[in-house]
Structure 1
Amino acid sequence: MSDRGKKIFLALSIIIPFLVYCIYYYGIMIKNAPYRFKDMESVVLKYGIGDSLINQFDSKTGNYQYVNTRDSLVKTNVKLTKDDLLYLHHKAVELGFWDFPKQIIGNDTLASKKAPHFYLEFKYKEKSKTMLFDVSYNQKPKLREAAEQLIKLVQKTITDAADRGLVK
């Protein structure tokens, strides 16, 4: 066997098993991922000042209640499409929502009681991920930005669905 043949044989005996192992390992890992879109059931968003989370949305039932500019409680029904849920799921993955702590709350209790709070929950068949976010939180700026961005995306998706005429 020539010197070139030996090098090719050595490369193939290392590279091919490594590639097969990677495909096998990561294939199982992706298949058994805890938060898969096909297992997604609903998204729940609640928000308000302090402990009063009067504004609420549940994508499973479509029930949406919010306080408008005249301080009136408005109840309506907004249905999110499968594409809307897929978009939210992918954005949650992109922003690292699964690694967020359950509570992102500021240290100052007085400021925390007057600041807006957001409760976000992604429900799946076997698991669910929740987050309680306080706008007065200022310890980790990147975490705060990611949480704010995800909440704004959910709110925008709800508003867009309502504007599309899916309101009943």
Structure 2
Amino acid sequence: MIKNAPFRSGEFVSLQFKWGPGNNLENSYDSATGIYQYKNAKDSLVRKSFKLRHNDIIYLHNKANELGLWNFPEVIANEGTDLKKSDVLRYEMQFNYKRKSKKVIFLSDYHDIPKLRDVATQMKTLVEQTITDAEERYGKAL
């Protein structure tokens, strides 16, 4: 089944992860460039540079397969939510492959389908933890 999956680990190009309130996604990580930026507790923008290891990428790809990321809707938000006006904490995950990409926008207040909320939260947490681990290993301030 994994062999016929629409997204293959050997074709992985990059991961982009952004988050913030509403459309203000100042916090981000791009695995292609290695640029990581986020607002710290003092509301200052911190910029660092580090790349994910190959096994980090394989791990995230396999977890995305396991959790069914490829079947997630593009937007995971409560019915009637206006994405342009909502100030709820938002996460954007984009997995880029040679021939395809999968982008998911996940609003943290989502509650319509609990199982979908749980797996989206789990995927977001896995991406965050992988980035945090890589930052602790290699992060250099720019």
- TM-score, normalised to structure 2, is 0.91
Letter of the structure 2 residue corresponding to residue 126 of structure 1:
R
Counterpart pick for 2:130 among 141, 154, 157:
157
Aligned residues: 139
Higher relative contact order (CA 8 A, sep 6+): 2
The answer for the alignment partner of 1:115 in structure 2 is: 88
Secondary structure at the counterpart of residue 156 of structure 1? helix
Contact 1:43 1:58 in 2 (8 A): yes
The structure where strand makes up a greater share of residues is 2
The answer for the alignment partner of 1:136 in structure 2 is: 109
Larger Rg: 1
1:108 shift after superposition: 5.5
Per-residue deviation, residues 22-46 of structure 1 (Å, max 9, x unmatched): xxxx7xx82x532000000011000
- TM-score, normalised to structure 1, is 0.78
CA distance in 2, matches of 1:138, 1:152: 17
Two-structure CA RMSD over aligned residues (Å): 1.8
1:136 shift after superposition: 1.3
Per-residue deviation, residues 128-164 of structure 1 (Å, max 9, x unmatched): 0010001111110000010011011101000000111
Task: Detail structure 1 runs of 4+ shifted over 3 Å in the superposition.
Answer: 107-110
Report sequence identity in percent: 44
Counterpart pick for 1:98 among 67, 70, 79:
70
Structure 1, unpaired ranges of 5+: 1-25
